[in-house]
Structure 1
Amino acid sequence: MSPATIDRLLAPIRCVIPKRLCGTKPGSLLKTQIPVRTDHWDATEPGYLEADTVVHCGQSLAGDFVWTVTYTDIYSDWTASRAVWNKGATQIVEKTRQLEGELPFPILGFDCDNGSEFLNHHLLRYFS
């Protein structure tokens, strides 16, 4: 089957199923400045967190909407989510601060997506 035939046969489905939206833009050089380990971990104890955002916007990134911030501990798979309005940097830091106060273990490492909602000067000051 040629690529053109595949495209022709899949055209009706592609119109029905939209492409996934991505609300995260590549971050800046701040990733190297945050003094918490952000590389690959071979976690043997709880405390190494991955964090990511999910947008709840339907089929358009236009306007204001809620984002879910999900924190997952690599070792235990313990997961917590927090909602933020419009992915504001100060809200992300505040939700991270709240989460840290509720954790049954200290944060030993923090890795996040490369979006500016995480990699910002507010987060740098918080983890410093």
Structure 2
Amino acid sequence: MSMQSRREYLSAMRIRYLRATARQEKSRILDELEATLGYARKYAIAAMKGRPEQHGPRSKRCRPLQYQMALPVIQVVWEALDYPCAERLHPMLVGTANLLARHGELHLTPTIVEQLEQISRATLARRITKWVQPGAKHIPADKRPSAHLRSEVPIERYDWDEDKPGALEIDLVEHNGGSSSGHYAYTLSVVDIVTGYSRRLAVLGRGQAGVASALERILAEWPYAIWGIHSDNGSEFINHQLIRYTKANRLSFTRSRPYKKNDNAHVEQKNRFWYVRSSDTNAMIHLNMSRG
């Protein structure tokens, strides 16, 4: 039975039920409803005593849209913040709008400011879904800026039976206290895979210039000749500064396979136990920490 037929049938049965005076007649009508529509007894009684159902689709509430004056401003702020979701946009909405207004990017009136302060996160989310958001640009792997640098550093491993001292593995270990947010110290660790000789130096942050300067300092104090450097694929090592340094000093520079820590195993195994040199006191601080 279609929905329209069901409504017509219920309307006719409701008229019969309301006109019935005898209890037995009302009971027969309810029995018929149970057999025809599969209603439970209590639900059938409620359906017969309820208001007649309207035929056709229900009309939607016609309520004017709010925040019409503020919507263009919200869209400018949304685009300026690189299209965030409503949860991230809502707390930054008024502050960013005032900042853009001070720089002449948009015009604010008291009414617009009031609407910006009153709009809820849920309403903001409904409005954002109707705006066109540009999709992320896909850059092929071979077109990315790092692709050229990686092509200059070959993927290789030292021979397992290497016997010529001067083959170094380098790694950077973070001391983040359990949280990777913020700015904190790192330890640059350098190990010779043949002799086992190692040096470490503390650096603040993992900036390319700072790491390159620390590595040059360690290598300048190395007690014998160096012929090779091997690192992982981190941007703190695969960069122009280190590539220029290795070429200028005629050093072999290689990198590990992605996600293969065993390619850099000699320095990786020392990440649980190291010494960090303090730049303020020039003292050696002994640390025995779990790996970050």
Q: With structure 1 as the length reference, what TM-score do the two structures score?
A: 0.70
Identity of aligned residues (%): 35
Give the distance between the partners of 1:31 and 1:45, measured in 2 at CA.
26
Equivalent residue, structure 2, for 1:61: 180
Q: CA RMSD in A?
A: 1.8
CA contact (8 A) 1:50 1:74 kept: yes
The amino acid of 1:125's aligned partner reads: R
Equivalent residue, structure 2, for 1:117: 236
Equivalent residue, structure 2, for 1:3: none
Equivalent residue, structure 1, for 2:286: none
The count of corresponding residues between Structure 1 and Structure 2 is 100
The unaligned stretches of length 5 or more in structure 2 are 1-145, 248-292
Indicate whether 1:106 and 2:225 are aligned. Answer: yes
Indicate whether 1:52 and 2:168 are aligned. Answer: no
Q: With structure 2 as the length reference, what TM-score do the two structures score?
A: 0.32
CA contact (8 A) 2:163 2:194 kept: yes
Deviations 1:35-89 (A, max 9, x none): 8x95223321210000011100011110000000100000001011011111111
Give the distance between the partners of 2:162 and 2:215, measured in 1 at CA.
20
Moved over 3 A (4+): none
Give the distance between the partners of 1:96 and 1:67, measured in 2 at CA.
13
Which has the larger strand fraction?
A: 1
Partner of residue 81 from structure 1, selected from 200, 203, 217: 200
The amino acid of 2:169's aligned partner reads: E
Give the distance between the partners of 2:211 and 2:226, measured in 1 at CA.
16
Equivalent residue, structure 2, for 1:17: none
Equivalent residue, structure 2, for 1:18: none
**Cα distance change on mapping 1:70 and 1:124 into 2, 3 Å:** same
Equivalent residue, structure 1, for 2:157: 39
Equivalent residue, structure 1, for 2:262: none
Which has the larger helix fraction?
A: 2
Higher relative contact order (CA 8 A, sep 6+): 1
Deviations 1:8-48 (A, max 9, x none): xxxxxxxxxxxxxxxxxxxx44344148x952233212100
Give the greater-gyration-radius structure (CA).
2
